[in-house]
Structures are given as structure tokens and as C-alpha cells.
């Protein structure tokens, strides 16, 4: 496939209210017709309420995954976003990917946000995952993962890096900078999806949802401090031509990652 059309959904998440968030998104996503992939923020159904056991879903995804399957089939697009899922006495921050035919894949967030004590409530994932959507190879990451370039290093095994987040406004400059850096160093498209609004802990988020091409140039950026859907078309042929003309990936260091 030479192009991939994506919709990046920047939304204000109601704290611990799955029903309200899914109802609102059901309306918002009606704008996402004729796209291949729809990306939702980290913990889109509840907010980053990692200490609240009552809002976690079981490993089947319960009502959240049922909703994702319904919307994916209705819009004929892959829908992806992270959900807090019961994992023993803790949770997994699970980045679900749902196909229109009902297929489901996922990636569990690897790097847990120490400053927010995420590790006290969430189990770290161990598997780096590459998914394929209409022939396009995608590396899914969640929020804090963005700070760790080894985990996101392109071993010539992906075309697009996706990061969904609840990234605070106080560190917005870092978010913007790292998204561009990951694109340039990995010679890949990078898509970042963040929320807006204040969460239940009083943490402000001002967005920064954006797509960048393989040299770090913006393809589209959602407006700050408001809900918006940013639609982009990724030209995979242009990526291939660039990598042929500037094959820096062939000089990358060989390494391995330990769990």
C-alpha cells in the first residue's frame, strides 16, 4: 500500500467515566469516515486513573473493547487506544488495536512513569510489538515510552511509530521535541496523540497531537487546548524513496534488548 490515511483524535477525557467518554467519542468519530486508522489517547475511556481499581476492565476489554469493535466495523477502520486492564493485583496499560473484522492485537506499555508512581499500580510490558495495517508496519508506544530511544529504535522493521499519551502541559516542549527526534533518528513517520483538559488529579494537558514525516517536518498539528481530529495521509512511497537516497539505517548499531 502506497498511502495510509489516519485520524488522530485529541479529546478531553472525563475522569473515571467510561460511559460518558465512549458516548462522546461515538459522536466525535463520525467525522472519521474514509480513513484506514483511528488513534485515541492513552486511557481514553477513563483518564490516567491508575489507582482506581473500579474502572479497570478484564482482559476481554469488557464494554470498552465491545465499543471499539462496534466502531471499527461501523467506520471500516482500525481503531487503537490504551485501556487499563486487570493484571493480577495490578493493571496493564494495554494499547488495544481492533480491526473491522473483530481481530484484536495489543501492546502493553513498557516504561512506567516513576514520577507518577505508575509502577505501584501497573505491570510493565515486556514485548516490543510491530503491527501491520494495510501493509504498513507500525510500532505502538504509550506515553513515557517516548523518552527511551533504544526501545523505539527502528531495526528496519517499521514504517510508522505511534505514541498515545496523557502528556502534561508542563512538559509539552519535551513531547514536541521527542516526537520530531524519533522521526528523524528512525527514518519513519511519527504520530503522537495526546489529550486536552485537566484530569482528576488536577494535571493540565494542552494537546500537541501531531504527525511528523521521516525528516521531522510536521504533516499536521491539532490546535492547542481544544478537542480536534487531525486527519493525515502518509505517503509510504516517499518514505521508501528517502531511505534509498539517504540510507542511514544501514549504518545503525546492532544491539539487543533484555527484558
Query: For 32-53, how does the pLDDT look when each residue is reduced to its tens digit (9 = 90+)?
Result: 999 999 999 999 999 999 999 9
Q: Name the residue ranges covered by the structural domains of the chain.
A: 3-251
Q: How confident is the prediction for the chain on average, in pLDDT?
A: 96
3-state DSSP assignment of residue 116? helix
Residue pair 159/132 in contact by the 8 Å Cβ criterion: no
DSSP per-residue letters across 129-177: --EEETTEEEEEEEGGGGG-TTTT---S--SEEEEE----GGGHHHHHH
* Residues involved in catalysis: 42, 109, 143
| pLDDT tens by residue, 137-148 | 999 999 999 999
Q: Does domain 3-251 have CATH number 2.60.40.10?
A: no
- Residue 229's CB: how many other CB atoms inside 10 A? 17
Q: By the 8 A CB rule, do 137 and 188 touch? A: no
Q: What is the pTM of this model?
A: 0.97
Amino acid at each position: 500500500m502506497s498511502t495510509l490515511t489516519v485520524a488522530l483524535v485529541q479529546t478531553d477525557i472525563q475522569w473515571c467515566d467510561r460511559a460518558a467518554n465512549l458516548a462522546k467519542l461515538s459522536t466525535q468519530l463520525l467525522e472519521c469516515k474514509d480513513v484506514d486508522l483511528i488513534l485515541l489517547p492513552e486511557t481514553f475511556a477513563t483518564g490516567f486513573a491508575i489507582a482506581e481499581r473500579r474502572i479497570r476492565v478484564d482482559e476481554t476489554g469488557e464494554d470498552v473493547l465491545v465499543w471499539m469493535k462496534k466502531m471499527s466495523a461501523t467506520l471500516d477502520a482500525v481503531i487503537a487506544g490504551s485501556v487499563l486492564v486487570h493484571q493480577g493485583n495490578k493493571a496493564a496499560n494495554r494499547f488495544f488495536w481492533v480491526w473491522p473484522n473483530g481481530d484484536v492485537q495489543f501492546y502493553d506499555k513498557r516504561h512506567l512513569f516513576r514520577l507518577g508512581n505508575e509502577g505501584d499500580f501497573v505491570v510493565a510490558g515486556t514485548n516490543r510489538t510491530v503491527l501491520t495495517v494495510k501493509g504498513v508496519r507500525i510500532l505502538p508506544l504509550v506515553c513515557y515510552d517516548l523518552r527511551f530511544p533504544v526501545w523505539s529504535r527502528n531495526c528496519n522493521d517499521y514504517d510508522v511509530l505511534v505514541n498515545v499519551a496523557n502528556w502534561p502541559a508542563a512538559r509539552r516542549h519535551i513531547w514536541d521535541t521527542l516526537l520530531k527526534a524519533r522521526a528523524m533518528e528512525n527514518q519513519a513517520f511519527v504520530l503522537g496523540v495526546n489529550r486536552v483538559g485537566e484530569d482528576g488529579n488536577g494535571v493540565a494537558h494542552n494537546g500537541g497531537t501531531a504527525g511528523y514525516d521521516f525528516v521531522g517536518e510536521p504533516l499536521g498539528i491539532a490546535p492547542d487546548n481544544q478537542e480536534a481530529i487531525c486527519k493525515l495521509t502518509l505517503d509510504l512511497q516517499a518514505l521508501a524513496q528517502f531511505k534509498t537516497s539517504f540510507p542511514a539505517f544501514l549504518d545503525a548499531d546492532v544491539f539487543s534488548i533484555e527484558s
